[in-house]
Structures are given as structure tokens and as C-alpha cells.
Structure 1
Amino acid sequence: MQYPQADLPILIVFDDVTSLDNLGEVVPSDNRFRVLVTTRLRNLDPNFIQEISLDVLSPDKALELLKKLLGKDKRVDNQQQAADAICEVLEYLPLGIELVGAYLAQDPDLHLYIMLERLQQRKLAEAALQDRETLNSTQLGVKAAFALTWEELEPPTQQLGKFLSLFAPQSILWNLVMWVATGGDDEDDPSPNLSPRGGYGVHTSTICKGFRRYRPLKLSLRAQRQRSEVIA
């Protein structure tokens, strides 16, 4: 693998690594590189990796976040056992709790035990697809929460979400999105004039992007060709 010459250190990121068996074969040995690995693996070899633990929320903090998201709503206090179980299903991950909090806020009459049952059923369904989609077990709760919120969206909003999943998980310039979606002409291509720091853009979560990628998306042939040209 060839890397560009640079005077400053180069950062290489390996995101969500599930096995370290072959990592040593691809990590450059040159001192000009800095390597960052994100993983849910524990007890890593200290001679190979300097581990910095980033733990999930504690059960109390997770419950506190859920209560904060619901504001004056008293369902967490009145149904605390169900609320605790919901946080546990979500593996105490902030993103999952935020998704469920938003879902519950939209439906103030929804009983937490019903919400818990929906999450458990959805998580089992997502687990059946785990091998195909290479998700780790701790992502399944978040994916289940996202699936439930996804079902509440209007079809045009779902279509937009699926289209955005075709872009890299970073700041997405809206003018570029519109150009690709509408099949713009070459002379209207905004990409040469767009700066990463300029223009209105949107952001997308890596996990949510992965979920949307598996939802079928209808694109015109022209838009498909432009996608391959400008999104990669």
C-alpha cells in the first residue's frame, strides 16, 4: 500500500475492528504514521496497543438521560422497571437511548413495557441478520431503536435517508446532494467549487448510515452513474 509523502504525521484510523489477528500486517511501521483503532474488544496486548477505555453510560446515567429526554413526562418514574430494562436492551449506549427518547416523546401515551417489547422483538430480528451485516452484538440495540423510529417516518423522508447513506459518513454538502439527486448536468457540478468548510451540510451517524444502506433505494440510471462518479 502506498501512502503520500508528508512532513507532518499521518493519522490512520481503523474503525470498529472486530478482530486484531491481521491488523499487524496492515499497520505501517514508519514512525511518521499515527494509528487509531476503535474496537469493543477488551484485554488487548499492551505490547501492541495502548488501550484507552471509553465506557458506556452507567445504568443510573442511562436512566437519567432517558428522563432528561422526556422532560416533564413521568413515565420513567412511574414505570422504572421497564425503563431500566429498556436501557439494558440498548446496552446503555447514548445513541440508542436518544433514539428511544425521541420515539417516546412523539407518543406520550405509549407504555414503556410496550416499548420494551417492541425493542426486544426488533433486536431479535436484527440479530438474525447480524452475520450478514457484520454488526457486533452491542450495536443491535441501537439498530433496533433506529428501526422503530424509521418505521414512523414518511416515505419521502425514508427515501432521503436512504439516499444520504450513499455518501461518506461525514459532513455532506447539501448542494452536492441536490445535484446528484436531480441528475444535474456536468456544467452544474458544484463539487469543484465547494469547500469542506463552506456551504450548508448535514451529518450522518456511521451506525445509522449502515442501517439505511440495507434499505432498497430507487435511483434513476443517470443518478446511479453520477453517484459512482462523485460520492466515492
Structure 2
Amino acid sequence: MSSDGFSGTIFRGRRRGVLIALSSPSGAGKTTLSKRLLSQNPDVVLSISCTTRKPRPGEINGQDYDFISVEEFKKRIDDGYFFEWAEVFGRYYGTPKTPVMEAIDEGRDVIFDIDWQGAQIIADQAPEDTVRIFILPPSLALLEDRLRKRGQDSDEVIRDRMNRAKDEISHWDEYDYVIVNDDFARALEKLNQALHAERLKRNRHPWLGEFVDALMEQ
């Protein structure tokens, strides 16, 4: 036995992954935050959603989204392919089920860039595995300014997005963590802190029961 009272190697089994449902109104920064979180955490993977919308400039099929036709999307619904799916602004979005569950079984965390309805469905289907995090903008005026600076949407679409933003924000209190993105670096730090706190939860470590039993027999 060593001088510190321990003998041998302490066994630590595989951690179960976390499903991170990250939501915000459009333009509040969740996509940028999720990409930075991915770059800083090798155990975090992005859930690649399927969508029927057209790719935006710079988006890559199979990396940002799986861009498919409406007909193919509806076929996948009928086949039970999706963890969850929704129609937003006349376009379909859905999360494939199998790769998500395989990832968390392997100890990887899966991040979803998703609206409040999708987050609710994920939490309902996997309540022990899911953490919901909401990103708030510092003001609606700044949110609208960010949308206009994108230069991708008409005034009518921006009005629709602002109306939807208020609806999205109204669900903030359904989330486990809420972060105000008034400073990107600070918001990213808080996002990392929430993830690390969730990784430490007892239910993420199924090996602990066996470990404690062995500990008690010493």
C-alpha cells in the first residue's frame, strides 16, 4: 500500500454522454457558440440535422446539415428515422435517432442547435440524458440589427423572425441553464461551465455503483 493510503489503480469506467439542447432566437449567437464549444471539446459532437431548406453561404452538406428534399424528409418520418422533427417557416428540420444514441453510449456529448419545441421533445424522450441551455440576446434591438446585417432575409422575413424570437424567448424558463450573450467570451465560458457541471453528475457515471461496492469490501 502506498504512503497515501491507496493501493493499486483506481478504475474509472466510461462516462455516459450528455445531450445538450441549445436554443435561442435566430441571431442570438447559439450557432457561433456551439461551433466554438465543439472546437474546444473533442468529446462533443454536433448532431447533424436534416433539413429541406436551401444551404446558406458557406454551409456544407453533411457537415452543417443534411440537405434533402421534402419528399425524402417525409419518407424518413414514416420510417421512424427521426429523434424529433418540426416544421419551421415552411421548412422541415429533424434529428436522426441512431447516431445520437450511439454517441452518448460511447461517452460523447451531442449538441443540438434546436428550437424550444425540439428541445422539449428531446428532453421528454431522454430526460436523464438531456440538459437544456437557452441563449438570450442582450436586447431585441440588437437581435434585429444582427439579422439585418446578415443580408440574407427580406424585411418581411425579418419581421416574422422577430415575432418568432419573442415566442422562443417566452419559453426561457423551461431550460436548465440560461445565458445572456452580451459578451461572446463570457457566454462561451458559461456554456463550458454548464457542460462540465453536467458531466460530473452521478447519473452520467454508471460505473460508480460497482466501484463503491468494491470500495466497501476493502
TM-score scaled to structure 1, two decimals? 0.24
Flag the structure with more relative contact order, 1 or 2, with Cα contacts below 8 A and sequence separation at least 6.
2
The structure whose Rg is larger is: 1
The structure with the largest strand share of the pair is 2
The structure with the largest helix share of the pair is 1
